[in-house]
Amino acid sequence: MKKIYLLASLLLSSVLSFGQGLPGLGAGTTPNNKPILHGKNWVAITGKPLAATAGAAIFQQGGNAVDAACAMIAATSTMWDVLSWGGETQALIYHPKLKKVIAINALGYAPTGATVEFYKSQGMDYPPQFGPLAATTPGTPGGIMTMLAEYGTMSLAQVLKPSMDLAKGYPIEAQTANAIEAQKAKIKQWPYSKKVFLPHLGQEREAPEVGEIFVQEELYQTLSKLVEAEKAALKAGKSRKEAIYAAYDRFYKGDIAKEIVRGTREQGGLFTEADLANWKVKIEEPLHVNYKGIDVYKLQEWTQGPALLQSLNILENFDLKSMGYNSANYIHTVYQAMSLAFADRDFYYGDPAFVKSPMKGLLSKEYAKERAKLIGDVNDPKITAGDPYPFQGETNPYLDILNQNKEKMASADPGDFNTTIDENFLTAFQSGTTSVETADAEGWVVSVTPSGGWIPAVVAGNTGVGLSQRMQSFVLDPNLNPYNLPEPGKRPRVTLTPSLAMKDGKPYLAFAVQGGDSQDQNLLQLFLNMVEFGMDVQEATEAPNFNSYQMQSSFGDHEIRPGAITLRQDTPEWIRKELAQRGYFLEFWNKTSGPINAIWFDWKHGSFWGGSSDYGDDYGIAW
């Protein structure tokens, strides 16, 4: 009996510690719900199986990882995989010839008239969650075409073919079909959305049925116009790149733009033709930090991505491995590090084209050491932003607001903090997004988190293009964040956050996840799962994560839930008890793994290992 009990204890220990495993058992022996995607030539992973197939088709035709990523973004946008064509695209691309990581900023900006004063005049405390006044200018079409023109090899016609086939009709999956039915009351407010989404108007179920062939004729016509513009430019002797940009101009300056503006303004939006014509995709330098010899790259502070970098800098001051995977001490330490980093995100991040955030100070190792000293033995619900300016030799221009916030929080009664996680809060906290990860044998690597225009979306006139809801990520009160107030032409600070990591000058890991404010929490834990606890990429994507809500939601009413935490249902009782004693308010889910998509690079064998968590519809294909 003792031997049986000892073996059971060892097995339980291996399940709880994942990649540490039993003695003598190698990587991949932990029973995963999905297999590792092993590939030699290429790998394509994204939010829907059909969209992964679109990427595979492009690879099979000889395209590179950028071509495939563009086709997958287009396919997921067409399938309304928590985004649409009027949303935003942001990417990190590893360029094997230049041996550098490149950042793509294809986030739309605030239209003419979108100011703090305007939204307050509408009786709003924040820009709205839905409707035409929630829309930034479309970014995804420009992002796809810029990435393809600059770093791809194929024509726009080739890359758009899978999405055009989908627009002509595809069997709609349950997630999207049921989301339409659930949101039909809002959809009926906008005539063009009603026409696209509700083919059975007046019946008990007005949305498409699961598996029904869902046709989007007007979107097909819009995509056809882009291909026509490219073909006309090629016929006129233009290069591949010039022809793609001719299609770009038709979308943002031609007849498509005119219809987007007309249809948006008809429904109460603010877009002007100049707003679309003046918007440009930005090719930028990413930010990065080094964690134990691994360089981790994120987009600039118009995203929340640097919060992951800050968290790594803080956690570098602790021996995480010795704490044990998902022990109470480990969970507490990572939670507190995230709370410190996200408090800085909430106050300092914004569009650097308007107000330059103190990123040098925020990402300095010295500042991280000072923040790490604030981590005690129990949860601190009163964490506020720090002052990174001295760490870059400057004076904080908003020191008065910062000090007022500290004083206000210091005098607050923790008993008055809201720690409940209701359905409405959770829906807003985790809104939107999908992810796209590709890599090829030539060395190209792409990590993307396209988003915006999720259901219920306002469709812009007769274009079939669903508009973004990203204006809601602005705040109207400078006390919350003086860097992130709406102005025409300004990009809101978003949650969208692709990731790339490099080791020894080579790609190490490409990873991304959907899920609003939870994204960099899940990605941080994936990275630590692999680096600190030796999990393989599939184990790491499926492993139980925890989610914190001790940060301002980037959506809705921008609420905060200090000390609230979501854990997986199988969290042991002794860990639950200790976390509760440390001041956490616990809730539990059956799955907490993502949905994360990732590619790990096996340089020893010259192959790719793809991982896709078992959380949602995400899927991958490798060859």
What single string gives the DSSP state of each residue in 210-265?
A: TT-EE--HHHHHHHHHHHHHHHHHHHTT--HHHHHHHHHHHHHHSHHHHHHHHHHH
Burial class (CB in 10 A: 0-12, 13-18, 19+), 422: exposed
**CA–CA gap between residue 54 and residue 37 (Å, rounded):** 17
**What is the three-state SS of 55-69?**
HHHHHHCCCCHHHHH
> How far apart are alpha carbons 267 and 260 in whole angstroms?
11
In whole numbers, what is the pLDDT of the chain averaged over residues?
Answer: 93
CA proximity to 135, closest of 173, 195, 192: 192
Beta carbons within 10 angstroms of residue 89's beta carbon: 33
Among 350, 354, 351, 364, smallest CA distance to 394 is for 364
Query: What is the length of the chain?
Result: 623
Q: What confidence score (pLDDT) does residue 2 get?
A: 32
Long-range interactions of 200-206: CB distance < 8 A, separation 24+:
205/181, 206/181
CA distance 513 to 72: 15
CA dist 536 → 324, 373, 444, 510 (Å) = 17, 32, 22, 13
Q: Contact, 51 vs 81, CB < 8 A? A: yes
Residue 415 binned pLDDT confidence (cut-offs 50, 70, 90): confident
Rounded CA-CA distance 382/508 in Å is 37
Query: Which range, of 109-118, 231-240, 431-440, averages the lowest pLDDT?
Result: 431-440
pLDDT tens track for 172-193: 999 999 999 999 999 999 999 9
b/e burial code for range 424-441 (CB count within 10 A of at least 16 → b):
ebbebbbbbbbbbbbbbb
Residues in contact with 408: Cβ distance below 8 Å, sequence separation at least 6, in sequence order: none
- DSSP conformational letter for 392: G
pLDDT > 90: what percent of the chain?
Answer: 89
Q: Are 120 and 413 in contact (CB under 8 A)?
A: no
DSSP characters for 337-358?
Answer: HHHHHHHHHHHH-S-TTTS---
The predicted structure's pLDDT at residue 272: 98
How many alpha carbons lie under 13 Å from residue 579 in its C-beta half-sphere? 28
Alpha-carbon distance values, 208 to 170, 199, 469 (Å): 11, 6, 23
- Residue 278 phi/psi, 5-degree rounding, is -90, -15
Banded pLDDT at 609 (limits 50, 70, 90): very high
pLDDT given for residue 163 in this prediction: 98
User: Sign of dihedral through CA atoms 537, 541, 545, 547?
Assistant: positive
In this structure, the number of other CB atoms found within 10 A of the CB of residue 378 comes to 12
What gap in Å lies between CA 234 and CA 11, rounded to an integer? 63
Q: What pLDDT does 594 receive? A: 83
pTM listed for this prediction:
0.94
Average pLDDT over residues 571-579: 98
Q: Where are the domains of the chain?
A: 54-87+107-280+454-473
Which pLDDT score, from 0 to 100, does residue 418 have?
Answer: 86
In one letter, which amino acid is 206?
E
CA distance 111 to 132: 11
Cα–Cα distance list, 588 to 508, 542, 546, 576 (Å): 32, 16, 9, 10
Q: Where on the phi/psi map is residue 561: left (φ > 0), alpha (ψ -120 to 50), or beta?
A: beta
Nearest-angstrom CA–CA distance, 475 and 493: 10
Name residue 146's amino acid.
T
**Whole-angstrom distance, CA of residue 618 vs CA of residue 614:** 8
Residue 419: the pLDDT is 85
CB 128: neighbour CB atoms within 10 A? 16
Q: pLDDT digits over 1-44, tens only? A: 333 323 333 333 333 433 333 333 344 445 789 999 999 999 99
Q: Would you state the pLDDT for residue 431?
A: 65
Helix (H) or strand (E) holding 315: helix 306-315
Give the residue among 85, 87, 91, 99 at the shortest CA–CA distance from 69.
91
Cα radius of gyration rounded to whole Å, the chain? 24
Q: What is the mean pLDDT of residues 585-602?
A: 94
Q: How confident is the model at residue 432 (pLDDT cuts 50, 70, 90)?
A: low
**Is the confidence at residue 444, as pLDDT, over 50?**
yes
Q: Where are the alpha helices (DSSP H) in 458-565?
A: 519-531, 537-542
